[in-house]
Amino acid sequence: MPKLSAGLLLFRETGGTLEVLIGHPGGPFWARKDEGAWSIPKGEYVDGEDPWAVAQREFVEELGKQPPTGARIDLSPLRQPGGKIVTAFAVRGDLDLDGAFSNTFTLEWPPGSGKFTEFPEIDRVGWFDVAAAREKLLKGQRPLLDQLEEALGRGGSDGSRSR
């Protein structure tokens, strides 16, 4: 059975421009990667858990802030290149990123050194217009932007972008 992950794609409109909130993964593997490295706040869960509850929990763990309340848009699950199934929900809301902080994970670094270091799961978070987010997001998560645009009546799966 593939691994399951659930996440929250927060969005807002600023001056008619659609923006989404995404995060850059922490740790040494991602340190020098930017384009194609960012992700929606998300995390793994086991079959039987409520993906919506998991998406909200992971948002808090990865940003240190409660997700905005509001109507959710259920996006279609995506199979990532590695086989993981990502279930995502979009919610409209403006979130002040001051004071945002992520939970951490421990990794032996450098490998084989016997030295274990803590790294944040997300080391940067930001609001990006859809065109910029399309460049920054992991390739396997880019269809979430199309789904969001389609749900908002702004184009989407035909490859069009917000303007």
Across the strands, what pairs with 85?
4, 79
pLDDT of 155 over the 90 cut: no
90 sits in which H/E element: strand 85-92
- For residue 52, give Cα distances in angstroms to 3, 44, 55, 91, 131: 16, 12, 5, 11, 26
pLDDT at site 141: 97
- Residue 48, exposed/middle/buried by CB under 10 A (0-12, 13-18, 19+)? exposed
pLDDT at site 36: 96
Name the token pair of 150. Answer: 């389609």
pLDDT in tens, 90-144: 999 999 999 999 999 999 999 999 999 999 999 999 999 999 999 999 999 999 9
Walk me through the domains of the chain, giving residue ranges and CATH numbers. Answer: 4-152 (3.90.79.10)
